[in-house]
A and B are shown apart, each in its own frame.
Chain A
Amino acid sequence: MMKISLDTISEQNAFLDQVERESGEDLSRCYQCGNCSGSCPVSFAMEIPVSQVIRFVQLGQERMALQANSMWLCVSCLQCQARCPKCLDPSKVMEALRRMSLRQGKGPVALAQVPDGFLERSPQQAVVAGFRKLIP
C-alpha cells in the first residue's frame, strides 16, 4: 500500500481546481461509486481505474493522476458518462489530464507505435482522433 501526503490540499486545491476548470466538470460531485471503472471497456489495460484517477485528482495528487497510462487509453466511448449516477463525464476529465500532461511535455510515445502501413490502410478518423489526443 502506498502512502501519499495530503499536504497539497490546503485552502485551495490548485490541481483539482485546474482539472475542474479544464474539464468543466465539478468533481466534488463524484462520490466514488466506481461505476466509471466498472463500465470502462479499457479498464483492464489501465494501471489505475478511472474512478481512482478521479480520486487522486480530488486529493490533489497530480503526480499519481498524470503518471498512469489510464488517460492515454481512454477513447471517450462515454460508457462512464452514460453510467455515472451523478451525471459527470469522466472522458472530459481524461482529456483535461491529457492536455495538462502534454503541456508538461509528457506524452505517450505513440508515433513510434503506429503499426507499419497503418496510415494507408486505416480510416483517417482513427489517425485524426488518435492524434487529437496528442494536442495540448
Chain B
Amino acid sequence: MKLLTRQHLDRWVEAMLAEKVRVVGPVTRAGQPVYAPVDRASALDFSQVIGRNSIKDFLFPQTEPVMLYTIKKSSVEMKDVGGAGQWPDTVLLGSRACDAAGIAALRSVFVWQGEDDPLFLDRYERTTVVTLACARGDRSCFCTSVGLAPDATEGSDLLLRETVAGNFAVEPVTDKGEKLVARWASHFEEGSESFRPVVPPPVIETSDVEKILAWLSDPSHYQDAVWAEHAAKCLGCGACTYVCPTCHCFDLTDEGGAFQGERRKNWDACQFDHFAAHASGHNPRSLQSQRWRNRFMCKFHFYPTKFSAKGCVGCGRCIRVCYVGLDIAEMMEKVSGLAEANPRHQPSAIS
C-alpha cells in the first residue's frame, strides 16, 4: 500500500501551497477546531474530533454573488460572475468521513439531471477531498447509525488511515484521488504498516434509518403528535442548518444602488418561520414543529427517495449547536420506535 509519512505530509502541503493550491484542513482557532484554508503545513491539526463548521463552506459558501446587473434607460444589463477559472485547485485535507459523505449529498442536489449549478460544479471539480479516518468519536457522533463509519469512503477522493507508526496509509477512492497521488508522487512511498485501531461511535441500537424511512413515507404520520411533542421547544434559530454538511437551501437577493448592483446567493434555512411562506401570505409551515418535521423528513425521506443520497451523515453538529438541546438522534430513536408499533404502510394503487 502507499504511505504518506509525517514528514512528507508537511512537505507535501508546503509543496502544494507553493503551487498555489488552496489547502483547507482542520486548524485550531481560539482553541476551537475549524476547517479553514492554511498558509503553512504547521497550521494543520488533526488531533481534534471534528471541525465546528461543515466543510461544505468550501463548495457552497454562505454568500456569493451570482451576477452583476446594471439598470439602463429602458433595459437591464446582466453579467455573470464565477464560472470556470474563478476558483483555485483545492485540497480538503483531513476532512472526516461524515463531511465527505455530506459533499456527496450536496453534489447529488446541485448536479442533478443536467440541472447543474455552475458555481458549485466549478468548485467541486477543482476540489479533491482527502479524508482522514477518525481515531475516535464523541458523545454527539452517530455516523454508524446512518450507515456510515469513521473510515467510510463515500464522497472522498482519497482516504488516509493513521498507522501505528504515526504515518498515513493512503487509499485512493476515485480517479481524482489517483490523479492527486500521481501529481505529487514524490511525497508518497510504498510500504506496509498496520493501521491504528479505529474506535467507531456506538451505534444507536434503537434507531434504524430503514424503519424511519418507512414510517415517514406514510402520509398519515404527517400530522403525528410526535412532531410537536419533540420540537415544541425549537426556536427556529436555524443554527443546525448552518452547520449541517448536507443542508443546501439558499435564497437569492439583489443588493446595490438604484442603477447597479449584484444578485447574491445566500444560505437560507428551513427553520426560519417564513421559509416556506407564499407570496399570498399563506404559510404552509406556520408552526415550528412543522418546520422541524420538514427538516427531519428532508434528511431521512426526501434525500434518500429523491436524490438517493444520505440526508444525514451523523456528524452530530446540529446536536452540538442546539441552544435548547434538540437532539436529532433522540428523534431517530422515537420514530424507529413508532415504526415498530405500526408496520410498513402499503400505498394502495390509485384508482
Whether the complex brings A and B within 8 Å at their CB atoms is answered no
Which residues of A does B touch, CB under 8 Å?
Answer: none
